[in-house]
Amino acid sequence: MLNASPYIVFSGQAREALEFYQSILGGELNIAPQSQYNPDPAVADLVMHGQLDVPGFSLMAGDDPSGNTATGSGKVTITLWGDDFDDARRIFDALSQGGTVGMAFGKQMWGDYYGDVTDKYGVAWAVDVTVPAET
């Protein structure tokens, strides 16, 4: 079983927005800046991934380093996440049928398997699965 969380894409306001949401909702906020994974100083202060965990759900957000997301656009991606690799792969492949893959589902630098796709209806999806370390 995978979980679903909204993922809001900002154009440089992800940290400010997540801190605002935390001030209202409480919860635990974790933010990974682009500088943690991306050596480009032009995007170093942008949020690669932020996650606010509150009872009952997680709100995720990040900044679009390409700058293609207009301020106030409200672009939202439905994120499916968990630890069932086979289910994640199946779902990603099904959502990709007739859609446009942004990032192919595969192992990422942070260790998870991840892919994103806009389905044939124009809905943005991200699939992220954590698998046990290979021995």
Q: Residue 15 maps to which CATH number?
A: 3.10.180.10
The beta strands (E) that lie in 35-86 are given as 47-54, 57-63, 76-82
Q: Is residue 134 part of a domain?
A: no
Confidence tier at 74 by pLDDT (50, 70, 90): low
Domains of the chain: total: 1
Show the domain range for 84. 3-129
Is residue 135 assigned to a domain?
no
Q: Residues 10, 63: contact at Cβ < 8 Å?
A: yes
Q: Let me know the angle formed at the C-alpha of 20 by 123 and 22, rounded to the nearest 5 degrees.
A: 85
The structure's pTM equals: 0.68
CA distance 123 to 125: 7
Query: Lowest-confidence range among 26-35, 65-74, 83-92, 103-112?
Result: 65-74
The pLDDT mean for the chain works out to 88
Tell me the residue type at 53: D
